[in-house]
């Protein structure tokens, strides 16, 4: 190991056998550094590179998801005498603004009142058997939201706390508003330091119909946001659509329930997603687990559109793609899911480096490179202490796991492929070692 890297690992009490590294010149067979390169390691969110690389290769950067909408019935004098149907196809970015635009399009078609039901078709993805609390026991974390063919606004709510010193409270702003959910709109201000401000709020999120804050909010925090996964994901879509529709002046005579889209009937219109290149950027820059899972299942759906996508089918697509480019996977490799939110996933630094080398020579290289966080500047690398702006690297982080993988631009103008993973209880204390490794790489790996 380079001396600065070795020293940082020693300070963190991480042994060399817990570290795997590959540094190669991009577009070249020259390997500068290899340590435990063939050892399968838990990649954490570096697994998103597999998902996004496979998607860019198989679907192309211009690929979009389509959400068809049917107006089933006659429209007269602003009234739809029938049902409105919305069918999901896995769009990872149906955020509240785009749901509003979808409903606005319905109104532009002359509908102000829906006499029948609003039917939500979520059949493109098989129903998940997993629970939001399965991974770490905290269902309020937005990263634990389960994939859904009709995933609206990540099934989450952002609470914003705005101090009002004259009233001695912090106002609580809610985005988006949900029907049949009451939220306490203020919380007492305190003079406490801005440390564990979330804990100080003593929030109660377990009841989806009522959200409250029994504690206080430190005035020293200024304005802060808290994104929270909704306590009742099964009803989230209905509550969001109902709130938006009524806020837009719409009337609804029926209910909002799951249902089936009509077969053989052309939709009234379709809502197109942003292109895959934009989605991949959100996934990699900000390590968005839910979007990665949506993309993972979409790989299976695109292979067999007539069959509900499952995690097993998506793993099969990803494995076939890897084997086609690498041959049989090394012993000990485990493909679990598309996000890396897994304790079982295993991949070697050598295989990741090979995939990054292949991506560097591929037509979608610019889209991949621009999707990766820039060290010291943005995304999950904004706190990196290596020279800013010189590396595009995906990060990986779980309890006992830390890693980076991507490309480093050196002083000489050479670009290097760098993959580094640490699997150890002190992994996150060893992040300075990863920064030191990036710094050593951008200095063209000076002689030791």
pLDDT at 148: 97
Residue 172 lies in a domain: yes
pLDDT value of residue 128? 82
Domain end call among 272, 297, 327? 272
Between the alpha carbon of residue 329 and those of residues 36, 332, 333, 334, the distances in Å are 17, 8, 6, 9
Which position has the token pair 């709020």? 201
Domain with 88 in it: what CATH number?
Answer: 3.50.80.20
The span from the CA of 37 to the CA of 14, in Å, is 17
Cα(105)–Cα(68) distance, rounded to whole angstroms? 12
Query: Considering the domain boundaries, does residue 139 fall inside one?
Result: no
Contact 432, 11 (CB under 8 A): yes
Same-domain pairing of 348 and 303: yes
Residues 199 and 247 in one domain: no
Looking at the structure, tell me whether residues 312 and 408 fall in a common domain: yes
Q: Do residues 375 and 303 share a domain?
A: yes
Residues 347 and 434 in one domain: yes
In a domain, 434, yes or no: yes
| The total number of structural domains that make up the chain | 3
From the DSSP assignment, how many helices (H) and strands (E) are in the chain? 11, 20
189 and 57 share one domain: no
Q: Rounded distance, CA 52 to CA 46, Å?
A: 10
pLDDT the model gives residue 311: 96
Sign of CA dihedral 89, 93, 96, 102: negative
Residue 166 shares a structural domain with residue 281:
no
* H/E segment holding residue 106: helix 96-108
| 54 located within any domain | yes
Shared domain for 306 and 252, answered yes or no, is: no
Contact call for residues 369 and 408 (beta carbons, < 8 A):
no
Q: What CATH number does the domain containing 348 carry?
A: 3.40.710.10
Contact between 146 and 132 (Cβ < 8 Å): yes
Phi and psi at residue 5, in whole multiples of 5°?
A: -70, -45
Q: What is the pLDDT of residue 445?
A: 86
**404 in the same domain as 328:** yes
Residue with the two structure tokens 């985005």: 175
Question: Mean pLDDT by 10-residue block, N- to C-terminus, for the chain (448 residues)?
Answer: 97 98 95 97 98 98 98 97 98 98 98 98 92 88 96 98 97 98 98 97 97 98 98 97 98 97 97 98 97 98 97 97 92 96 97 97 97 97 96 97 98 97 98 98 88
Residue 103 has a pLDDT of 98
Residue 102 within a domain = yes
Examine residue 315 and state whether it is found in any structural domain, yes or no.
yes
Q: Please say which residue of 219, 252, 272 terminates a domain.
A: 272
Q: Is residue 331 part of a domain?
A: yes
In terms of domains, do 435 and 365 share one?
yes
- CB distance 147 to 125 below 8 Å: yes
Residue 138 lies in a domain: no
Per the DSSP assignment, residues forming a β-bridge with 121 are 87
Are 217 and 359 found together in one domain? Answer: no
Classify strands 251-252 and 113-114 as parallel, antiparallel or unpaired: parallel
What pLDDT does residue 391 have? 98
Determine the structural domain holding residue 118 and report its residue range.
66-133+145-149+233-272
Does residue 106 sit in the same domain as residue 195? no
């Amino acid at each position: 190991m380079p001396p600065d890297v070795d020293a940082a690992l020693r300070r963190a009490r991480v042994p060399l056998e817990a570290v795997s590294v590959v540094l190669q010149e991009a577009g070249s067979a020259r390997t500068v550094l290899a340590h435990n390169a063939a050892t399968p390691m838990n990649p954490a969110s570096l697994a998103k590179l597999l998902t996004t690389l496979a998607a860019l290769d198989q679907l192309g950067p211009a690929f979009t998801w389509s959400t068809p909408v049917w107006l089933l019935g006659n429209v007269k004098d602003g009234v739809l005498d029938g049902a409105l149907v919305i069918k999901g196809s896995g769009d990872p970015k149906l955020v509240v603004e785009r749901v509003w635009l979808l409903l606005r399009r319905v109104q532009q078609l002359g509908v102000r009142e829906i006499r029948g039901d609003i039917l939500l078709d979520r059949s493109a993805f098989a129903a998940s058997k997993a629970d939001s609390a399965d991974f770490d026991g905290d269902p309020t974390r937005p990263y634990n939201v389960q994939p859904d063919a009709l995933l609206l606004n990540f099934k989450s709510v952002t609470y914003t706390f705005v101090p009002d010193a004259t009233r001695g409270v912090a106002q609580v702003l809610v985005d988006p508003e949900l029907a049949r959910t009451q939220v306490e709109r203020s919380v007492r201000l305190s003079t406490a330091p801005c440390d564990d401000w979330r804990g100080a709020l003593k929030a109660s999120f377990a009841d989806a119909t009522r959200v409250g804050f029994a504690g206080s909010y430190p005035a020293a925090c200024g304005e802060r946001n808290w994104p929270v996964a909704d306590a009742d994901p099964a009803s989230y879509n209905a509550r969001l659509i109902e709130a938006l529709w009524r806020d837009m002046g719409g009337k609804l005579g029926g209910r909002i329930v799951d249902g089936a889209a009509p077969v053989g009937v052309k939709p009234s219109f379709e809502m197109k997603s942003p292109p895959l290149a934009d989605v991949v950027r959100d996934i990699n820059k900000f390590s968005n687990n839910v979007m990665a899972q949506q993309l993972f299942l979409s790989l299976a759906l695109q292979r067999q559109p007539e069959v509900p996508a499952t995690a097993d089918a998506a793993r099969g697509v990803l494995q076939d793609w890897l084997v086609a480019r690498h041959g049989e996977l090394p012993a000990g490799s485990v493909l679990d899911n598309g996000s890396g939110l897994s304790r079982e996933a295993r991949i070697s630094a050598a295989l990741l480096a090979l995939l990054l080398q292949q991506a560097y020579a591929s037509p979608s290289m610019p889209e991949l490179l621009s999707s990766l966080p820039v060290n010291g500047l943005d995304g999950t690398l904004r706190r990196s202490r290596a020279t800013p702006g010189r590396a595009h690297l995906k990060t990986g982080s779980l309890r006992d796991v830390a890693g980076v993988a991507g490309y480093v631009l050196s002083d000489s103008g050479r670009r290097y492929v760098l993959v580094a993973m640490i699997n150890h209880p002190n992994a996150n204390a060893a992040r300075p070692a990863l920064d030191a490794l990036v710094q050593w790489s951008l200095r063209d790996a000076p002689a030791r």
